[in-house]
Structure 1
Amino acid sequence: MKLSNIRKNLKEFYLDIYFRVKPLKYIKGEKIFLTTTDGLGDNIVRTKLLEKFLREYGSDNIVVLCKDKTKSFLEKLGFKNIIIYENNYRKRVSGKIKLIEKIAKLGINRIVSLEFDQHDIFIKYLKGIKKIGYLNEFNSKYNKYYNKTIKIDKKDYVIEQIKIFYNEYFRENLDMQELVPDISNFYNKSEKYKNIITIGIGSADRKKMLCSDKIVEILECLNKLNENQIILLGKGNLEKKLVEELEKKINFKNYKILNYINKLSLTETLEIINSSKLYIGVDSGLYNFAFGFRKNIVAFFEKKSSFSHDKFPNIKIVYGKSEQAEEQYFGTKILNSINKNEIMENLKYFLGGR
């Protein structure tokens, strides 16, 4: 057994003993505890589902558990009662006890888990409260703690997965098109950026990012097709490292590039994307925001996934096809094998030639 699993089992054993000696004291009420503790992109694609909960129950009757990066987006949607899912709550026994006791005092009668993989043991100890969530194929041991689980195929397109939950929970019959997010009105637009091309170079996983050589190829193609400014967007150490590689290979002024890496707040970044003519990126939070803004998008993926939004005419995704590329720090051999002709053809779809 892995050391990490041994630690998890020891934490669970301690929690079992703790709540046997000190049973939870509940405050009864009618509120819903909504958990949505996965990534920002996951929350963007479930916008319509989140909005439905607000319409049905009202913001005063919902308490949301989410990660810190998601809080501002949920506030944009209209949620007021938000608990940040801190590292202390996830990793430490004392933090888990604090979270469980806090939830018990909220006055809730139902827990609804919107994550595709809800894997925190706190769900086990909140007894006498109805619990609903997806059937968890990733961590199946947690399914037994739910009164109702909603089954999906994890290989399905993500909006299809959300549609199944939405229709089963609310007893409706919406189709996929009705659940595609539209968040463009939640963020400002500026005429200043309406002809700009934005490039989100980063991702939470460096293997989902393109190598600097491949980004240079994209910029070379753009230079032939486009006369307008290009803005590089993103925030983090990976993005910093990648842009430093790019600066050693090309002169940004020659390519009409503005480097905004690590220079903007998330809101400022999103307002530029929302205003722009075209978004170019990889599998990331900014890519999903661009999808929510209904922007024209060219994205680069190693392979098709549940977050491949290319079912829609405004989105083109280019997939790797071989392992001919050299091994590099960013991306994979397959992702970096995308050839320049494919890049050019997909950019032409939105930009034409000149």
Structure 2
Amino acid sequence: MKLSNIRKNLKEFYLDIYFRVKPLKYIKGEKIFLTTTDGLGDNIVRTKLLEKFLKKYGSDNIVVLCKDKTKSFLEKLGFKNIIIYEDNHRKRVSGKIKLIEKIAKLGINRIVSLEFDQHDIFIKYLKEIKKIGYYNKFHEEMNKYYDYKVQFNKEEYILKQIQNFYQEYFNEKIELESLIPSIEKIYKKNIKYKDYIIFGIGSIDRKRILCSNKIVEFLKILREVTNKKIIILGKGKLEEEIINELKKKISFETLEIENLVNVLSLEESLEIINASNYYIGMESGLYNFAFGFRKKILAFFAKKNNFSHDNFNWVTILYGENENIEKVGKFGTSLLNSIVLDKKKIENFIK
């Protein structure tokens, strides 16, 4: 057995003993406890589902558990009662105990888990509260703690998965197109960048970022087909690393590209994307924001997946074509870096 599993089992054993000796004291009430502790991109694409909860129950009757990076987005949607899901809650027994005891005293009558893979054991100990979530195919041992499980197919497009939850939970039909997020009105627009092309250069995973050689090739083609101003956005160590590689191979000044990586806050970057008409990037949070802003998008994916929004005509995704090529450098995968940069396709995107 892996050391991580041994530690997990020991934590659960301790929690079992703790709550047997000190049973939870519940405060009964009618509030809904939403858990949405996955990534920011996941929350953006479930915007319409989140708004439905607000409309049905009201912000005063909902408590949300989310990660810190998601808080400001949920606040913009209208949620008021937010608990940050901290590393301490996830990793330490003392943190789990505090979280479990806090939830029990919120005055809730049900927990609704919106994640596709909710696998934190805290859910086990809230026995007097009804629990609803997706059928968990990633950690099936968690399914026994939920009273009702929404059907889930991990191969399905993400909006289809959200549609399943919406229709089963609210017992109400909704068209897939009605679930497309529309968040452009809750963010400001930096009109200075209205006619710019925005290039979101990063991602949470270096495997999702094109290698610098491929980015150089793309930027040169892009400059050949348009004289529009180009700005590069991103924030983080990976973004800084890929920018440093690019600086050794091209001149941003010569190509008339403005580099604002690690210069702006997330909010400032979003105001720029929201103002512009075109977004180019990798599979990332900014890509999902651009989708929510209804921007014309060109994205680079190794292969089609749950977040491939290209079934809508304003989204174009270029996929890898040859998994057997030799991988060069630290970024991307052999499949991602095999994307063919068709000059005509790129030119058509800008039109």
TM range (shorter): over 0.9
How far off is 1:254 after superposition?
1.1
1:6-25 per-position Cα deviation (integer Å, ceiling 9, x unaligned): 11111000000000000011
How far off is 1:326 after superposition?
3.0
1:307-351 per-position Cα deviation (integer Å, ceiling 9, x unaligned): 00000010000000103243321000010011232xx23322222
**Residue identity opposite 1:172 in structure 2:** E
How far off is 1:150 after superposition?
0.4
CA distance in 1, matches of 2:168, 2:193: 41
CA distance in 2, matches of 1:351, 1:200: 16
State whether residues 54 and 78 of structure 1, in contact with CA within 8 Å, keep that contact through their aligned partners in structure 2. Answer: yes
2:228 — aligned with what? 228
CA distance in 2, matches of 1:23, 1:128: 11
Please give the root-mean-square deviation of Cα atoms over the aligned residues, in Å. 0.9
1:200-220 per-position Cα deviation (integer Å, ceiling 9, x unaligned): 111111001111111111111
Paired residue secondary structure (2:228): coil
Paired residue secondary structure (1:69): helix
1:178 — aligned with what? 178
CA distance in 1, matches of 2:346, 2:181: 24
How far off is 1:194 after superposition?
1.2
**Residue identity opposite 1:222 in structure 2:** L
State whether residues 325 and 337 of structure 1, in contact with CA within 8 Å, keep that contact through their aligned partners in structure 2. Answer: no
1:232-271, aligned counterparts within 5 Å?
Answer: 232-271=232-271
CA distance in 2, matches of 1:61, 1:32: 6
CA distance in 1, matches of 2:220, 2:328: 22
1:205-216, aligned counterparts within 5 Å?
Answer: 205-216=205-216
State whether residues 298 and 346 of structure 1, in contact with CA within 8 Å, keep that contact through their aligned partners in structure 2. Answer: no
1:340 — aligned with what? 341
State whether residues 222 and 347 of structure 2, in contact with CA within 8 Å, keep that contact through their aligned partners in structure 1. Answer: no
1:260-304 per-position Cα deviation (integer Å, ceiling 9, x unaligned): 111111110001011112100011000000000000000000011
CA distance in 2, matches of 1:172, 1:255: 52
1:70-111 per-position Cα deviation (integer Å, ceiling 9, x unaligned): 000000000000000000000000000010011011110000
1:284-299, aligned counterparts within 5 Å?
Answer: 284-299=284-299
Paired residue secondary structure (2:164): helix
Paired residue secondary structure (2:188): coil
1:23-38, aligned counterparts within 5 Å?
Answer: 23-38=23-38
State whether residues 35 and 115 of structure 1, in contact with CA within 8 Å, keep that contact through their aligned partners in structure 2. Answer: yes
- What are structure 2's unaligned runs of at least 5 residues? none
1:21-73 per-position Cα deviation (integer Å, ceiling 9, x unaligned): 00011111110000000000000000000000000000000000000000000
CA distance in 2, matches of 1:115, 1:325: 36
CA distance in 2, matches of 1:348, 1:116: 37
1:145 — aligned with what? 145
How far off is 1:190 after superposition?
3.0
**Residue identity opposite 1:336 in structure 2:** N
**Residue identity opposite 2:19 in structure 1:** F
State whether residues 240 and 261 of structure 1, in contact with CA within 8 Å, keep that contact through their aligned partners in structure 2. Answer: yes
**Residue identity opposite 2:38 in structure 1:** D
Is 1:102 the counterpart of 2:102 in the alignment? yes
1:235-269 per-position Cα deviation (integer Å, ceiling 9, x unaligned): 10000101011111111011111111111111100
CA distance in 2, matches of 1:346, 1:239: 26
1:1-354, aligned counterparts within 5 Å?
Answer: 1-322=1-322, 323-341=324-342, 344-352=343-351
- Paired residues, what number? 350
**Residue identity opposite 1:39 in structure 2:** G
CA distance in 2, matches of 1:235, 1:190: 18
Paired residue secondary structure (1:340): coil
Q: Under a length normalisation based on structure 2, what TM-score does the superposition of the two structures give?
A: 0.98
CA distance in 2, matches of 1:95, 1:48: 32
CA distance in 2, matches of 1:157, 1:346: 24
State whether residues 133 and 150 of structure 2, in contact with CA within 8 Å, keep that contact through their aligned partners in structure 1. Answer: yes
CA distance in 2, matches of 1:179, 1:251: 42
